Amino acid sequence: MKYVDEYRDQELARTVAAAIAAEVDHGRSYHFMEFCGGHTHAIFRYGVQDLMPENVHFVHGPGCPVCVLPVSRLDDAVELAERHGVILCTYGDMMRVPDTKQRNLIRAKADGADVRMVYSTLDALRIARENPDRQVVFFAIGFETTTPPTAAALKAAEAEGLKNFSVFCNHVLTPPAISHILQSPEVRDLGIVKIDGFLGPSHVSSVIGSRPYEFFAEEFQKPIVIAGFEPLDVMQSVLMLIRQVNEGRHEVENEYIRVVTEEGNFKAQALVSEVFELRKSFAWRGLGIIPKSALRVRDAYADFDAEKRFELSVKASREAKSCECPSILRGVKKPTDCKLFATVCTPQNPIGSCMVSPEGACAAYWTYGRFREQQPSKLEPAE
Ligand code: SF4
């Protein structure tokens, strides 16, 4: 397959692995956080960790959009569907995340709520057109990658004069979360998480470019390499990070040059900034409240803002008892540190959000990592 197989080539992988082995300083250890859930998935799927020297470690960050949505926002979505009787449209993974009562949107649908899985915002718009007598709400989640399609849907709804379409906006921003991880008092107090550098997100960076990371590479003196999602992308990026660490550099480098530029996608950025504005703060699952880390619908598009159109009751939400998702999303603990992992909590019966999406650390451990000791290292997918 052109442009995919090249990045899964086993001979090349062995060459890069040998270069990494030759360049690591065996007198120290290296801890690299992959912020993006897509990287977590790739690391486990292709056994990249097995190709690393023993002193190179991956720390799994909070880059899975399903995992970082706080339970309170999911409770709100359930309320929109059940109490307000809207047609609630959302992406598939979101339907399986447990809410405060350990129900989820699939269960709400089974109990009579009109919840529909969509593949794109275009599906949600189509449903609104087909059901002019019903209110249709798109439950929007995700980082900078999924934000432009939501903005485009809002603009289309306005242009068409759709009166029954709105967005429940939960879009979050990557750079503030990375900064928060580096300076959060919890992580400093625990003193457990050691991060020597970051694998920067790839899809997110295709929209925002590499420049937004320069501030904290300098401020926190951590190297960042924007990495593609294929196994060779990840390995080459690790090699670039190791070189920076060894040389005492802390720069933003771009391994994913076939997609990411310094400036990013201007058209997408302009679209997002026309429709959305920064929230003063937003509560992230596992990370707590982070200033200026999420978006809300601008007043100019208030008619399409579900938070303004519907009155949502304020309720006390809580995480599942014993679920370690908050610590896992901070990189403080690993999924196997959770006593529910692979016992009560599995992808078929997720107790926390990290077990829901394939990009969640717990689901990745379950699917690819749990049997590592019994399997030889290999580059072919473990399917
Ligand atoms: S294994 Fe399940 S309960 Fe434990 S941290 Fe992961 S998602 Fe939460």
Q: Could you state, in chain order, the average pLDDT of each consecutive group of 10 residues for the chain (383 residues)?
A: 79 95 96 92 91 94 90 94 96 92 94 97 98 98 96 97 97 91 64 82 94 90 95 97 97 96 97 97 90 97 97 80 87 90 92 90 85 45 40
Separation of 130 CA from ligand 1 center, angstroms?
39
Q: Annotate 223-279 with DSSP letters as a single string.
A: -EEE--SSHHHHHHHHHHHHHHHHHT---EEES-TTT--SS--HHHHHHHHHHEEE-
Q: What is the pLDDT of residue 186?
A: 62
Separation of 358 CA from ligand 1 center, angstroms?
13
Separation of 321 CA from ligand 1 center, angstroms?
10
Q: Annotate 322-369 with DSSP letters as a single string.
A: T--HHHHHTTSS-GGGSTTBTTTBBTTB-SSGGGTSTTSHHHHIIIII
Which residue's C-alpha comes closest to atom 3 of ligand 1?
323
- Residue 31 belongs to what H/E stretch? strand 30-36
Which distant-in-sequence residues (6+ apart) come within 8 Å of 131 by Cβ? Answer: 87, 164
Separation of 336 CA from ligand 1 center, angstroms?
9
Order of all β-strands in the sheet with 56-63: 56-63, 30-36, 197-200, 224-226, 252-254
* Coil, strand or helix at 133: coil
Pocket test for ligand 1, best of 340, 349, 359 (most atoms within 8 A of CB): 340
- Which residue bears the tokens 């009787």? 85
Q: What is the pLDDT of residue 379?
A: 43
Q: What is the pLDDT of residue 4?
A: 80
Q: What is the pLDDT of residue 184?
A: 67
Which residue's C-alpha comes closest to atom 1 of ligand 1?
341
Radius of gyration of the chain (CA): 21
Q: What is the pLDDT of residue 191?
A: 47
Q: Residue 379's closest CA among 41, 22, 45, 59?
A: 45
Q: Residue 35's closest CA among 187, 203, 243?
A: 203
Give the nearest ligand 1 atom to 366 CA: 1
- Which residue bears the tokens 């399986």? 96
Full-model pTM: 0.89
Give the nearest ligand 1 atom to 362 CA: 6
Cβ-based neighbour number of residue 265 at 10 Å = 18
* Coil, strand or helix at 208: helix
Q: Residues lining ligand 1, CB < 6 A?
A: 323-325, 328, 335, 338, 340-341, 345, 350-352, 354-355, 362
Q: What is the pLDDT of residue 374?
A: 46
| Angle, alpha carbons 253-257-262 (nearest 5°) | 60
Asked if 90 and 84 count as a contact pair (C-beta separation under 8 A), the reply is no
* Coil, strand or helix at 201: coil
